[in-house]
Amino acid sequence: MSYKRFGLLLPLSLGYVLCASAAGWEAKYYNPMPDAADVVLPMPCEGSMVFRKVFIPVAGPLDDYPINIGQDGAEYGYVEQTRPTFIAGSFTGAKNDKSRYYLMAKYEMSQLQYAALTEATCPTAATKMRLPQTAVSWVQAIDAADKYNLWLRKNAAGKLPKEDGAQGFLRLPTEVEWEFAARGGLEVSAAEFRDTHYPMPEGINAYEWFAGAQSSNGKVQLTGLQKPNSLGLHDMLGNVDEMMFEPFRLNKLDRQHGQAGGYVVRGGNYLTAQADLRTALRQEEPYYNAEGQVKNKTTGLRLVMVSPTLTSRERVASIESSWKKLGTGSKDPESADKGTVQSLNSLASGVEDKALKEKLKALESQLRASNQQQEETRDQAIRASLNLGAFLCTKMLDDGQYVDFLQKNYKLNCEGADKDASCDMRKGKLEEQKDRLHKLSRYYASSLVESATLYGQPLLETQVPVMEEIISRNKQLQDLKPYLRTHWANQKAFLQKQKIDTEAWLTSCKTVTQ
């Protein structure tokens, strides 16, 4: 007998049982639509589970990225109302990477994978076992993740991603992790991210299973039959609902309600009407009913791989340093220009009255929080201004080259002895386009100068690599990267020389090469 499932030395007291040997699964059973960017982790019974990296354009351990989740105009605003939140990845890549990421399972957990984690004997791989695992309770889903974590640490520790030396671990996703990935993350534009669902250029029938004879026909479907979303994730909407890690909360206008209820399921299922299938769809399920743990035939699960936060003394020291700078209005909290926050701190430290000291410290915290919110809003505005500058640079390239083309044709046809009959029309068109380019150049210059004057070089310089990372992760925006660099070079030239040089900026944009 071969003990490949949980390892010969794994103590039986952990609740595991050993099983017979099984041949390694063929890729078609766990990854029917493979991609070069897939991350594959081993499973018991010589199985596998596939994950995709979900990138966030932040690098520091205390940095996070602002997003909006939910949907305005939904019938049940108290459930799905848009609200601002933040997201950050768990893992860093190479030393100079400007992103962090977490890993999300590419497919909903299949019956084959669930059986490999929970049954006494290894299952036989078969196509029908590619159906999503359903009719499991939230507690059983947590238990399956726990079994997988323990097996990986015992049998495949070297395969686990690490952050700051700490091994990653698997769990159900949070609502923010799930919705950011379901909407397409950085792979879609800001407008597409806020749409009711991720882009589906070939129509929803090619991407998701929903109610009706033209789609699921009332039956759960095999994982990975449909096209993936922009992040390469399959069946994020429809097929089966997916359990979330945290409990359900209602929405209020500016925050979530204080009561935590049952668990959250997201994405809709094969019985959900097409019109109701949306990224913001969220529902509550009780953990228990009169019969015991709640198990639904329409609900399954999908795992994420994340890491601990406080991974080492060095990481804690880095976080503490960042924390001291939050909302202080100064890059260096020990600098001579301490600002109002530091002045309050000093004042509180010198006060003997305990009640007054507490009030001053509370005021300091409130001011820091307000400053932090303003700084985050400012950084978003800076990124928007950089994005606008890069886009205007592309327009100056297009319009500038068109003017050059019209100028060349006019010279060839209208400046010789034999003038073309269309010269008056050509001249009018040329002058019209010159005027258009002149106005565009002036608008670009105005935008560049206003942004540079409002924010200054240090603040702008901090957001350039963030904007580059956002552009790099979006296939539709990648061509914008050289224009961003050109725009930033133009802006730096102005900041250093304080000279408005519209012609030079136009020339630099016209000569951008991919």
Is the confidence at residue 335, as pLDDT, over 50?
no
Express as a percent the part of the chain with pLDDT over 70.
92
Three-state DSSP at 365 gives helix
Reported as a pLDDT band with limits 50, 70 and 90, residue 201 is very high
More confident residue, 132 or 24: 132
Residue 136 clears pLDDT 80, i.e. is over it: yes
Q: What is the DSSP string of 176-210?
A: HHHHHHHHTGGGS-HHHHTSSSS--TT-GGGT-B-
Whole-model pTM: value is 0.88
Give the model confidence (pLDDT) of 384-432 as tens digits. Answer: 999 999 999 999 999 999 999 999 999 888 887 777 788 989 999 999 9
Q: Please give the mean pLDDT across all residues of the chain.
A: 90
**CA 63 to CA 69: how far, in whole Å?**
19
pLDDT tens per residue across span 75-102 = 789 999 999 999 999 999 887 888 999 9
What's residue 18's pLDDT? 37
> 11 falls in which pLDDT band (50, 70, 90)?
very low
How far is it, in rounded angstroms, from Cα 240 to Cα 139?
A: 18
Q: Are 397 and 510 in contact (CB under 8 A)?
A: yes
List the chain domain ranges: 12-306, 322-370, 373-510
In this prediction, residue 23 carries a pLDDT of 58
Q: Is the pLDDT of residue 336 over 60?
A: no
Check residue 353 and give its pLDDT.
80
Q: Which pLDDT does position 514 carry in this prediction?
A: 67
Better pLDDT: 448 or 60: 448
Choices 3.40.50.300, 3.40.50.261, 3.20.20.70, 3.90.1580.10: CATH for 12-306 = 3.90.1580.10
Tell whether the torsion through CA atoms of 57, 264, 42 and 49 is positive or negative.
Answer: negative
